[in-house]
A and B are shown apart, each in its own frame.
Chain A
């Protein structure tokens, strides 16, 4: 088990373009989370999946953002019509089911919108 894997590690895009990030969770984990982190801040919750069902979305997740987990394994996060304010580190985490299970994070995808 290699842990949570995120691709790409870095992405530079022009304003207005669409970008998609991928997250592969730890294989036996049925819960998957996306967070966003800007410089000097702690991560902020974006959305959560249990298996393939998206169960919770933050108000931070505007209509330009969409996340999927089609087969309950890997997940994608797409940002449409990127804006400079979308520049951030996008972090994926996974965990087993249960309220007291440990969350494990990937290395993140650093997005820069120019």
Chain B
């Protein structure tokens, strides 16, 4: 059974800092990995999808990397802003259709 772990569970940084969120998974036979953002009481917003054959994806200030063989992904956020405050979720797709999610990293960016 795929297990997805996100570290740290919570993170507080001052505005302007660069930061890294970590995601690890136990079964490296994945098709892809997707990073999501979730604001309190809201649904999920897709940030980036990395296919298993890719090493990284970039969107604006976000960069996600994937090391499938070691079962790790990182989400790098450059020049953080208070509006980045949210929970960030990592999810992997193995065979089948379901996404397997971690518990998320709760990020607070203080002005």
Contacts and interface: CB of A to CB of B under 8 A. Distances in A.
Contact of B98 (A41, A48, A105): A48
Q: What range describes how many residues of B lie at the interface?
A: 20 to 34
A98 B108 CA distance: 35
Contacts of A105: 36, 43-46
A43 B104 CA distance: 10
Nearest to A6: B43
A91 B97 contact: no
B102 A100 contact: no
Interface in A62-112: 91, 93, 99-100, 102-108, 110
Nearest to B100: A45
A44 interface: yes
B103 interface: yes
26 contacts: A33-B97, A33-B99, A42-B89, A43-B89, A43-B99, A45-B98, A45-B100, A48-B97, A56-B97, A56-B98, A58-B98, A91-B43, A91-B44, A93-B44, A99-B31, A99-B32, A99-B93, A100-B49, A102-B49, A103-B46, A103-B99, A104-B46, A105-B44, A105-B45, A105-B46, A107-B42
Given A45-B100, A56-B97, 20 more contacts: A4-B43, A33-B97, A33-B99, A41-B103, A43-B91, A43-B101, A56-B98, A58-B98, A91-B43, A91-B44, A93-B44, A99-B31, A99-B32, A99-B93, A102-B49, A105-B43, A105-B44, A106-B43, A107-B42, A110-B41
